[in-house]
């Protein structure tokens, strides 16, 4: 079992420099061009200057609706000394009409009177007034645009106007993308077995190529067979300008990319001092670049953007568009190994005008992080990360308008928060960022002024009430508003048919029942602990009390996929997973808002969404909730 | 001849308000949606939340290449107390592989040794280490994105990952575009007669629709026949969400749009207090909006952007993307009528770090202005324009990077300046803005510090030399660098076969010869005056001495298109127009640079382009120039 375990840790700049150098050496950056019909040129870049094929106008033209005259024939005309011209002496013209050589001026229609087959002139015309000269817009052979100009709607219109028919444009580079992996399938389906994964990296990279102006050629999925992968590479080498091999770049058993590149060409880099993206591969086969991208989506995206994007743009004679940069304060400590360039995705929102960057989960396997991300913080090699509250520069991948119009809701998650997010986006044009940090996490985020609001369902063991005593303890001086969102049913989620015949919490201590818990600080975990102690059940006896999931849905999903047998969660999670639900308790789920941190307009939008009929309709259609108190102010402290 | 002369002057906000109100009343902004395959969803907007169809991963998976173990079996293992496990006790796994229920942890491949069919463990595994839980990325029924989210490469990849197959997206609104005009032809050709114009507005608006995410349906050109236009409108009303009638909106004889809208539906606005764009028409036919755009391209673009863009975006649930705004100093006085909202296109460049906005020609008929424009200055109604040097806010339509990397060359124009522009853009990534203001205009622009350099060919009547005496007079204290670009042949341009048998300047005074002159301040005009006085010829006797063109090419174009019979111009203009050339004089054409206004890098790029072999090659291939002195410093003043 020979495994390719040891890969380098090459610094990013060195790797990019080497890659560029090799491509320069084989003249790969030579810009290829092609001649196309002007009408298909939208969105392309010119490969040479575009010259007007014909003057516009190509004749002397009227610039107004009016009459063409010989200026001399109107000499001395005025309101008090009108001059009448016969119809034979003039020509009625519209804007753009040809002015024959016998005329040399146009009088606006508003300034003439037609009387008895004559035209009354009330003001003398100056020679060549309201007359467009030949080529006023574009003269034949004028350079309309130079090389490397973008062809948009206006360029297209100008080319047509000047009778340009065919033009030479930069050829779009072709990127051959080869997804490899025996575990991959093309489309998700219900028959998927454990271990199967839907191919998505190849699709993502192909879409990125499209954004960048390149053409993607995506190969069918190739299983982990060295000979088949080699054949795919050879096939793509004939068709494409750049070859990308997806996955197969780390040290796993079926990672053939590096050796194929070495055998067919030259391996330039294997292993990069970046995080994510370490197992990246760069090489050259027959003067064409080959990039091996790691299998995790965030790594694949990073490596492709770091290496494919600059070389593709350069080959098209363009520079990579700069992302706008915003200075933010990082919400929590970001540790980083000094030996690597680290790239961390963040969300961004303003908390009372202070822009905060919230690091997203750094797991490279999470496709959802790329979807959530508003931008990227680059922690350069040689530095050791950022302390909580430190300034950082974020390269924005989302529009500043969306970022500036964002609400943050850190705390316990509930399905109804998703309804709010959707209603806010749809009806109020307001984006809400919601991260599940549990109810206690939500309180702490409020204390640290990192969130506008928090979803809470914290049971007070002593009073049996929810949330208020916690707020009084942790936020004694803050203006705050606690609003009920829903009452919700918590219970045990079990498989269809309830194979373990679970009836209540007492069944959790049966050794054959595999339980899954929620993370520390989650309201549901507090509720469980409260209920267990009330029923005098011991946590030590519960098989799986220490296994943690972060959401209700994740608990239900684990039950459904046989990761465990039961867990405490809300009714909604059982419903969407088509599982059974043993009700245990009804709890109050409130939203705590700090009005000082939120603009009045945003607060109004949020309250409007909570009180909207759509919200109530969606919640009641969903089931497992009670809405009697929804929207009521549970507690308010005005400071 | 009933003419529709009197149109309103409705303020822009009022017109837009009325239009929006009518569309609201007929519920036109209702968002339509359609269900499509996920794989075709790139670039679309979601019409409802997209929920994960399946958890990802949908099984407990290894997060590393390594071995799956039961954590309990590794208890107490360390470097000094290694534990050996049999192969039956472990499972070799790659990243993403399924972890069956008998294992609960993964050890990285780097941390194990395979020895004699056993595996040596050097560190105890913690339960669930390097194991991805079910739904770690996305849990089944998780909301991946809410309504009205853009679907880019990452969303697409996430949808695939979560086995989402079909999604509901916002329908692209259909825009029916009807180009009208008997003068229009579809494609430019050599047989075009005076009065014919190539249709380009419809093409431009269709391309804008594409940029905005709408679908354009462009009707064939309809001649100026009311019944035919009416039929086209009725046809489009069935197929499209919004109807645009191009041209036919002013007071010309064939302007039927307003009356057709009035007959088929409701005319809301006819005539707008904007410049350009005055003859705009807004109406409703069968609950669908109709926009009549004026025939001039800049007016058409403005009206379409002011009215079609916001309503189309609103119908798609989006806001119109904001253009970045930059504060600039306007280079010259911009007069504006207080009664109108005026929109003026400008170029922008930095002159020694001061951003200057240069108003482009305000003729609405110039398609080239839209191509050249870097942005738009809006002069609101109720204000009277801007004084020279005043601050103004420019909405940018070109990338700030291009704007910030721009050289300005105001002065006399020459074909070789276009070569420089092309070489600078291609080889140096530097944009050069060149506007022909004549040699004297160039000197004045240098004096006012509005240009980095100027092309000059100003003959000194006394010395017979060029340029230097003018610079000493007008810029006596400034650091400057005068570099020869080319020597060029000036002569009389005449039609093929020289029908008037013109041999020299003396033929210009023949009354049958129609001459065309250059504008005042043009070096060529000064040269002409010098040569005429040398030959003692009287300007009064020259037929057309007062007719002015602004470029050599425009003079040649006028000769070619029988606008006149001859004019003084450079050889190049005769060559590209395929005309004959009677050489008269060789003159020196220099570039004057003010080094204080230009960055060192830009100066280097400019000098590199002038000295480049490509420049010399293109010039000598073109003919009519001499390069002996090209690149030589003619005069330098170091201050």
Choose the mutation target among A42, A96, A624 for the interface with B, i.e. most B CBs under 10 Å.
A96
Taking residues B245-257, report their average pLDDT: 75
Measured between alpha carbons, how far is A590 from A607 in angstroms, rounded to an integer?
13
Alpha-carbon Rg for chain A, nearest whole angstrom, is: 35
Residue that wins the pLDDT comparison between A40 and A140 = A40
Rounded mean pLDDT, B147-159: 97
Mean pLDDT of chain B: 93
B33-56+137-170: CATH superfamily: Molybdopterin biosynthesis moea protein, domain 2 (3.90.105.10)
Tens-digit pLDDT profile for residues B170-201: 999 999 999 999 999 999 888 899 999 999 99
Residue of A nearest to B188 (CA): A163
| Residue B3: pLDDT band with limits 50, 70, 90 | very low
Facing A426 at nearest CB: one of B128, B148, B188: B148
Ranges of each domain in chain B: 12-29+173-315, 33-56+137-170, 61-132, 325-404, 428-637
In angstroms, the CA B574 to CA B559 distance is 9
The predicted pLDDT at position A2 comes to 41
Determine, for residues B401 and A319 on separate chains, whether the beta-carbon distance falls below 8 Å. yes
Residue B242 corresponds to which tokens in the numbers above? 């919004």
Secondary structure percentages of chain A, helix, strand, coil, to 5: 30, 30, 40
Contact between residue A112 and residue A68 where contact means Cβ atoms under 8 Å apart: no
Q: What is the pLDDT of residues A301-341, one digit of tens each?
A: 999 999 999 999 999 999 999 899 999 999 999 998 889 99
**pLDDT on residue A368:** 95
pLDDT band at B304 (very low <50, low <70, confident <90, very high): very high
Does residue B586 surpass a pLDDT of 80? yes
Checking if the pLDDT of B512 tops 60, the result is: yes
Contact B561 A59 (CB under 8 A): yes
Domain B325-404 superfamily per CATH: MoeA, C-terminal, domain IV (2.40.340.10)
Question: Which residue does chain A place closest to B202, by CA atoms?
Answer: A157
Is A96 in Cβ contact with B187 (below 8 Å)? no
pLDDT for B139 equals 87
Interface A–B counts its CB contacts (< 8 A) at: 342
Residue A190: predicted pLDDT: 82
Residue among B251, B556, B562 minimizing CB distance to A109? B251
pLDDT of residue B1: 37
Going by pLDDT thresholds of 50, 70 and 90, the confidence category of residue B253 is low
The answer to whether B12-29+173-315 and B61-132 have equal CATH topology is: no
B94: closest CA among A179, A299, A182?
A: A182
- For residues B383-395, give the mean pLDDT: 94
Chain B CB contacts of A576 below 8 Å? 140-141
Residue B549 Cα distances to B353, B364, B556, angstroms: 34, 19, 10
Q: Which two tokens stand for residue A144?
A: 């309309």
What pLDDT, on the 0 to 100 scale, is given for residue A550? 85
To the nearest 10°, report the CA torsion of A610, A616, A619, A624. Answer: 110
| Least confidently predicted of A332-336, A390-394, B44-48 | A332-336
Mean predicted confidence (pLDDT) in B360-383: 94
Give mean pLDDT, residues B360-380: 95
Q: Locate B258 and state its tokens.
A: 């307003």
Q: Which pLDDT band holds residue A254 (cuts at 50, 70, 90)?
A: low
Strands B391-396 and B325-330: antiparallel
Distance from CA of B97 to the nearest CA of A (A): 5
- For chain B, give the percent of residues with pLDDT over 70: 98
Chain-chain contact of A114 with B1 (C-beta, under 8 angstroms): yes
Q: How many angstroms separate the CA of residue A592 from the nearest CA in chain B?
A: 22
Instruction: Tell whether the model's pLDDT for residue B243 goes beyond 50.
Output: yes
Domain A428-637 has CATH 3.30.230.10: no
- Within 8 A of B63 by CB-CB distance, chain A residues are 363, 365
Query: Is 60 exceeded by the pLDDT of residue A34?
Result: yes
Fold of A61-132: Molybdopterin biosynthesis moeA protein; domain 3 (2.170.190)
- Reported as a single tens digit per residue, the pLDDT across B82-101 is 999 999 999 999 888 999 98
Per-residue model confidence (pLDDT) at position A572: 87
Residue B447 phi, psi (nearest 5): -60, -40
3-state secondary structure of B106: strand
For domain B12-29+173-315, give the fold.
Answer: Molybdenum Cofactor Biosythetic Enzyme; Chain A (3.40.980)
Contact A165 B152 (CB under 8 A): no
Return the pLDDT at A1.
37
CA dist., res. B156 & res. B50, Å (int) = 11
Residues from chain A contacting residue B278 (CB–CB below 8 Å)? none
Tell me the C-alpha distance between B279 and B8, whole Å. Answer: 8
SS3 for B46-82, per residue? ECCCEECCCCECCCCEECCCEEEECHHHHCCCCCCCC
Above pLDDT 90, what percent of chain A?
80
Q: What is the pLDDT of residue A607?
A: 97
Distance CA A151, CA A156 (A): 6
Question: Which of B42, B163, B198 has the CB atom closest to A198's CB atom?
Answer: B163
B94 vs A136, A149, A254: nearest CB: A254
Q: What confidence score (pLDDT) does residue B116 get? A: 85
Locate the chain B residue with the closest alpha carbon to A548. Answer: B133
The confidence band for B250, taking pLDDT boundaries of 50, 70 and 90, is low
Work out the minimum CA distance from B201 to partner chain A, whole angstroms. Answer: 7
CA distance A155 to chain B (A): 6
- Cβ distance A148 to B547 less than 8 Å, yes or no, reads no
Q: Which residues of A touch B137 (CB under 8 A)?
A: 365-368
Nearest to B624 by CA among B579, B563, B565, B591: B579
Sign of CA dihedral A576, A580, A585, A586: positive
Residue B36 has pLDDT above 90, yes or no: yes
Looking at CA atoms only, how far is residue A587 from chain B in angstroms?
A: 22
Alpha carbon distances (Å) from A634 to A445, A471, A482, B458: 20, 12, 5, 84
Encoded tokens for B626? 């001499």
Percent of chain A with pLDDT over 70: 98
Per-residue pLDDT, A3: 47
Q: Measured between CB atoms, which of A65, A154, A563 is closest to B371?
A: A154
Contact B147, B46 (CB under 8 A): yes
| Average pLDDT along chain A | 93
Put simply, the answer to whether A204 touches B153 (Cβ < 8 Å) is yes
pLDDT confidence of residue B212: 97
CA A187/CA A198 separation, integer angstroms: 6
Which stretch of A419-428, B2-11, B356-365, B366-375 has the lowest confidence by average pLDDT?
A: B2-11
């Amino acid at each position: 079992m020979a495994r390719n375990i040891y890969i380098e840790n090459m610094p990013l700049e060195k790797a990019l420099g080497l890659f560029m150098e090799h491509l320069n050496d084989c003249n790969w950056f030579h810009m290829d061009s092609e001649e196309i019909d002007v009408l298909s040129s939208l969105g392309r870049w010119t490969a040479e200057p575009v010259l007007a094929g014909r003057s516009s106008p190509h004749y002397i033209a009227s610039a107004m609706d009016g009459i063409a005259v010989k200026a001399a024939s109107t000499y001395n005309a005025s309101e008090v000394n009108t001059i009448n011209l016969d119809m034979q002496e003039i020509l009625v013209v519209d804007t753009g009409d040809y002015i024959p050589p016998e005329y040399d001026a146009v009088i606006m229609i508003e300034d003439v009177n037609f009387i008895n087959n004559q035209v009354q002139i009330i003001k003398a015309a100056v020679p060549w007034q309201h007359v467009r000269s030949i080529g006023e817009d574009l003269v034949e052979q004028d350079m309309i645009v130079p090389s490397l100009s973008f062809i948009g709607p206006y360029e297209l219109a100008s080319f047509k106007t000047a009778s340009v028919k065919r033009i030479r444009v930069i050829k779009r580079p072709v990127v051959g993308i080869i997804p490899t992996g025996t575990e991959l399938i093309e489309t998700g389906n219900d028959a998927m077995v454990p271990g199967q994964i839907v191919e998505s990296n190849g699709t993502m990279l192909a879409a990125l190529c499209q954004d960048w102006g390149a053409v993607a050629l995506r190969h069918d999925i190739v299983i982990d067979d060295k000979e088949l992968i080699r054949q795919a590479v050879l096939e793509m080498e004939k068709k494409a300008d750049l070859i990308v091999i997806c996955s197969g770049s780390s040290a796993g058993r079926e990672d053939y990319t590096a050796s194929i590149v070495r055998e067919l060409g030259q391996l330039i880099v294997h292993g990069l001092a970046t995080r994510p993206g370490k197992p990246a591969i760069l090489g050259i086969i027959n003067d064409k670049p080959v990039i091996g991208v790691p299998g995790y989506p965030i790594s694949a995206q990073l490596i492709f953007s770091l290496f494919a994007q600059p070389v593709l743009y350069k080959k098209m004679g363009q520079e990579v568009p700069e992302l706008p940069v915003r200075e933010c304060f990082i919400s929590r400590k970001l540790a980083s190994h000094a030996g690597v360039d680290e790239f961390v995705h963040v969300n961004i929102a303003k908390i009372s005008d202070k822009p905060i960057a919230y690091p997203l989960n750094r797991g490279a396997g999470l496709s959802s992080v790329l979807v959530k991300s508003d931008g990227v913080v680059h922690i350069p090699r040689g530095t050791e990360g950022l302390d909580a509250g430190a300034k950082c520069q974020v390269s924005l991948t989302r529009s500043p308008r969306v970022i500036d119009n964002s609400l943050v809701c850190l705390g316990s998650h509930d399905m109804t928060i998703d309804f709010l997010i959707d209603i806010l986006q749809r009806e109020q044009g307001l984006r809400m960022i919601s991260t599940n940090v549990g109810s206690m996490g939500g309180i702490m985020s409020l204390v640290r002024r990192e969130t506008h609001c928090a979803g809470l369902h914290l049971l007070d063991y002593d009073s049996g009430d929810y949330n208020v005593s916690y707020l009084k303890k942790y936020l004694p001086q803050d203006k705050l508003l606690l609003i009920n969102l829903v009452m919700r049913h918590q219970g045990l989620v079990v498989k269809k048919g309830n194979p373990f015949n679970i009836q209540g919490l007492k069944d959790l201590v049966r050794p054959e029942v595999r339980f899954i818990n929620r993370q520390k600080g989650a309201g549901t975990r507090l509720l469980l602990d409260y209920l267990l102690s009330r029923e005098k059940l011991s946590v030590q006896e519960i098989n799986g009390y220490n296994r943690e999931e972060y959401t209700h849905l994740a608990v239900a999903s684990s039950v459904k996929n046989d990761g465990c047998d039961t867990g405490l969660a809300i009714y909604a999670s059982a419903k969407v997973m088509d599982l059974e639900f043993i009700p245990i308790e009804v709890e109050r789920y409130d939203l705590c808002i700090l009005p000082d941190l939120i603009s009045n307009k945003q607060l109004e939008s949020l309250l409007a969404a909570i009180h909207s009929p759509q919200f109530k309709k969606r919640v009641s259609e969903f089931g497992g909730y009670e809405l009697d108190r929804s929207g009521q102010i549970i507690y308010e402290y005005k400071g």
